[in-house]
Amino acid sequence: MTGPTSDATLTVSGITKTFGGLTAVSRASLAVAPGSVHGLIGPNGAGKSTVIGIISGFVRPFEGEVRFAGRSLGTLGAADIARLGLARTFQQATPIAGLTALENVMVGMHVHYRATVGAVLLRLPVMRREARAHEAAARRVLDEFELGADVDADAADLPFGKLRFLEMARAIAMLPRILLLDEPAAGLNTNETLRLEAIIRAQAALGTAILLVDHDVPFVFRLANQVTVMNFGSVIASGSPDDVYRDQAVREAYLGPARDTERTP
Amino acid sequence: MILILAIGLATGCVYALIAVGYSLEYRTTGVVNFSEGNYVMVGGFSTWWFLTSAGMPYPLAILAGTIVAMLCGLVLWYAVVLPLWRRRSPPYVVLLGTIVFGAIMATLALLLLGPLPQTLPQWIPGFSIVLGDSRIEGQYLVVLALTLLIIAAITATLQFTSIGREMRACAASRDTSELLGISPERIGVLSFAATGAIGGFAGAMITPAQFTSADVGLPYGVFGFAAAVLGGFGTMRGAFVGGLLLGVVNAVVARFISSNYQAVIAFALLLILLAVRPEGITGKSWEESEP
């Protein structure tokens, strides 16, 4: 894991994206430092998912730039960005059907494989050692995520809660330097949410820069070091959770007076 | 009858191997490659050239013929499919690209190697078996055994190696695999090269039992495609079952009815079968298998 240098900060500056005349994101900027959790909140349609899509390379911005590890991600494809150390999870978990839970996690670990095609097909010892090491690591991660009993299950057959954790396991097994989490707590029960929190904290402690998007505002505020609030495609506030919480514009636009009592310290 | 069955099964093996290529390429890249039958032609024809004109030892000539077909697959990928892909061309444009490429291969073979049909020696000289009152050339058995071996090897590679895992992931969901750092372009290179090599080897294998010439590519491609659809598009098992069935039906029709109506009758059967089972013999229903 790389140390917390400014180079390893994920910087999004002034990105704009329109879809057929509709502005999804307008000059949005944010920065996620290594080892920190950055919360991104906002009402539905605020442009949060588009920001994540742009960072991960699936959506091209019209304006602005995403930088990481000293380079602009603008011209890179999603696979290249993943290889630079970015992992993400989706609102709707996306297991690869037909692959077992173990294989799902191992596929993500391929970003770290060094064996060449020839070595794999000829089953050279170097490749077999590497494959064994990766399989052991994948099993460890699945055990940590309480999926030890499901390693051989087809990922598509797992129930909702387990899928969410499988997706987290797959992302974390990639040893990411940036982790984008899109609504990771949606649909989880209290217990599962607490487990998820512990996982996210532990991952931040390892030095990963985490961008956390969620509707569950208390959940985000509990975890985040920094919070950015978006509305109608624009950033309307950003700062520490306390500052953002006190921000009048945020209260009006998003939190609303009724949500006041919901906040947990 | 046994002889006809042997001929049918051996040709069916070639259809099956072509169908494997269609499945591999379609599942991993979404491309239906209609130049595939020509790999069989290129493999058989260039093996013949390496053996007779270049004077290579037979095993080396087979290897060289297979490599030439693999290179054809790579040229198709880099020169035709990839540029179209990058421009996000619609699938029918890519399909046309592969048809044109197939026609170019056939024309080049005609120009470089001539219009005459050619054949190759048996792989195991003098090997044949007698069943009842028919004598079956050993080559038919060689083809059957090696096809089983190749399909088993491909299945094992897909199931148990990291590259196979990447290919299956890419087949199930290209977007998700991209997020996991798997480049669809790299997977495309692999499946196009593999398909070329499989087709080329099939050509080198079947030519001693039959013959090859510049124009056999198209019918092989069409029957291989039909075999893939018949068996259930996208699965190894389907390719194998569909290939063998089509090969046997073809051989029986050619022997007992007429070789002129071979294609018509085979395709009529195909249509009837697909009307009953649209997903093919071994295929899952589309809703289940579509990512």
**Neighbouring C-alpha atoms within 13 Å toward the C-beta of B72:** 33
Please indicate whether residue B177 or residue A122 has the higher confidence score (pLDDT).
B177
Q: What distance in Å separates residue B93's CA from the closest CA in chain A? A: 23
Q: How many CB atoms lie within 10 A of CB A253?
A: 18
Q: Alpha-carbon distance B178 to A81, whole Å?
A: 9
Q: For chain B, give the percent of residues with pLDDT over 90.
A: 59
A78 to chain B, minimum CA–CA distance in Å? 6
> What ipTM, to 2 d.p.?
0.75
**C-alpha–C-alpha distance, residues A105 and A115, integer Å:** 18
Q: Which amino acid is at B200?
A: G
B285 touches chain A (CB under 8 A): no
Per residue in B14-71, pLDDT (tens digit) is 999 999 999 999 989 989 999 999 999 999 999 999 999 999 999 999 999 999 999 9
Nearest chain A residue to B187, by CA: A117
pLDDT category at B289 given cuts 50, 70, 90 is very low
Q: Is A110 on the interface with B (CB under 8 A)?
A: yes
What would the pLDDT profile of A83-131 be if each residue is shown by its tens digit? 889 999 988 888 888 899 999 999 888 877 776 777 777 777 777 888 8
pLDDT of B287 > 60? The answer is no
How many angstroms separate the CA atoms of B187 and B81, rounded?
A: 13
pLDDT of residue B291: 35
List strands edge to edge, sheet with A22-32: A22-32, A10-19, A63-68, A71-72
Which among B168, B169, B181 is the nearest to A111, CB-wise? B181
Tell me which amino acid residue B214 is.
A
A39 in reach of chain B (CB within 8 A):
no
Contacts of A168 (CB under 8 A, 6+ apart): A89, A145, A184, A196, A199
Helices (H), chain B: 2-29, 37-52, 58-75, 82-86, 91-113, 138-160, 162-172, 174-179, 184-206, 217-231, 236-256, 262-276, 286-289
Q: Is A96 on the interface with B (CB under 8 A)?
A: yes
Provide the mean pLDDT of chain A: 86
pLDDT (mean) for B168-185: 88
Q: Do residues B30 and B41 touch, judged by C-beta distance below 8 A?
A: no
Query: pLDDT per residue over A160-199, tens digit each?
Result: 889 999 999 999 999 999 999 999 998 889 999 999 999 9
Instruction: Put the strands of the sheet holding A37-41 in their side by side order.
Output: A86-89, A178-182, A209-213, A37-41, A226-231, A234-239
pLDDT of residue A19: 86
Interval A189-227: pLDDT, tens = 999 999 999 999 999 999 999 999 988 888 999 999 999
Q: What gap in Å lies between CA A30 and CA A128, rounded to an integer?
A: 42
Q: Return the number of CB contacts < 8 Å for A and B.
A: 80
Interface touch B178/A94, C-beta < 8 Å? no
Q: Give the residue from chain A lying closest to B86, CA to CA.
A: A77
- Asked if A124 reaches chain B (Cβ–Cβ under 8 Å), the answer is no
- Which of 130-189 (B) contact A at CB < 8 A? 157, 161-163, 165-166, 168-169, 171-173, 175-184
pTM of the model: 0.82
Q: Does the CB of A98 have a partner CB in chain B at under 8 Å?
A: yes
